[in-house]
Amino acid sequence: MKPGIHPDYHPVVFQDRSTGDAFVTRSTITSDKTIEWSDGNTYPLVVVDVSAWSHPFWTGTRRIMDTAGQVEKFHRRYGRRDGAR
């Protein structure tokens, strides 16, 4: 690899916002927040909205979609076309 052109690749803790589960991996992402891990070291902390612990595909849970509400929301936002039923 050519020296001086690659970003810093270091250990980072990713934490799921909804479940609180966390894991350590290596990444180039940076963060101002830090966390002390079980090995005694302090790592940058990145909080994510969705991970394998909370994603419906991996958990097997399904979200109920309110399609009627979504249609009404669309009509309120954009209006109806003339002659449309």
The per-residue pLDDT for range 60-72, each reduced to its tens digit, is: 666 665 666 777 8
Please report which confidence band the pLDDT of residue 20 belongs to, taking 50, 70 and 90 as the band edges.
confident
Does the residue 30 lie in any domain?
Answer: yes
* Enclosing H/E stretch for 70: helix 67-78
Please report which confidence band the pLDDT of residue 33 belongs to, taking 50, 70 and 90 as the band edges.
very high
Does the residue 73 lie in any domain?
Answer: yes
pTM of the model: 0.62
Does the residue 1 lie in any domain?
Answer: no
Q: Report the domain count for the chain.
A: 1
Q: Evaluate whether 40 touches 60 at the Cβ level (below 8 Å).
A: no
Determine the structural domain holding residue 39 and report its residue range: 10-78
The per-residue pLDDT for range 5-17, each reduced to its tens digit, is: 988 899 999 999 8
